[in-house]
Amino acid sequence: MTVGERLKHLRNKVGLSQEALSDQLGIKRATYAKYETDVNQADYDMLQTFAQFFDVSIDYILSGHTYLQDKNVDQRLLEIITDPEIQTAFNEIPGSPEEVKKEILDILRYIKFKKQNED
């Protein structure tokens, strides 16, 4: 997925049109459209604005990676926590996204540990 495709995905996820999003960000719709189509690349300040607006990291916008992919995390747990349905539920939990991800991951690790020790 390209940067533009991720921006489009994030915009659709919050249910905004290009016009509505660009109005909220204080930029022209055509400028934003060029980011989504990968015609233009956002500078650092714009990436920071996108990350804050969508409540994701700049790294996620640029590469699609989350902090979980950079650590030694059980791949099955990573698949579970990055599942779109889990993400929808995750977005409803109040608090810092990173803190909530760590808590969810801890819960999943505990469930895995418990299951392994039942056998």
Among the three residues 18, 37, 63, which one is the final residue of a domain in this structure?
63
CB atoms within 10 A of CB 103: 12
5-49: pLDDT as tens digits: 999 999 998 899 999 999 999 999 999 999 999 999 999 889 989
Contact by Cβ (8 Å): 106, 71: no
Structural contact between residues 68 and 98, judged by C-beta atoms closer than 8 angstroms: no
Could you say which of 48, 63, 78 is where a domain stops?
Answer: 63
Residue 34 belongs to domain spanning: 3-63
Q: State whether 76 and 41 are in the same domain.
A: no
Whether residues 7 and 27 share a domain: the answer is yes
48 shares its domain with 24 = yes
Prediction pTM value: 0.57
Which distant-in-sequence residues (6+ apart) come within 8 Å of 18 by Cβ? 11, 29, 32, 33, 36
Per-residue confidence (pLDDT) for residue 104, from 0 to 100: 75
Q: Do 72 and 53 belong together in one domain? A: no
Q: By three-state DSSP, how is residue 15 classified?
A: coil
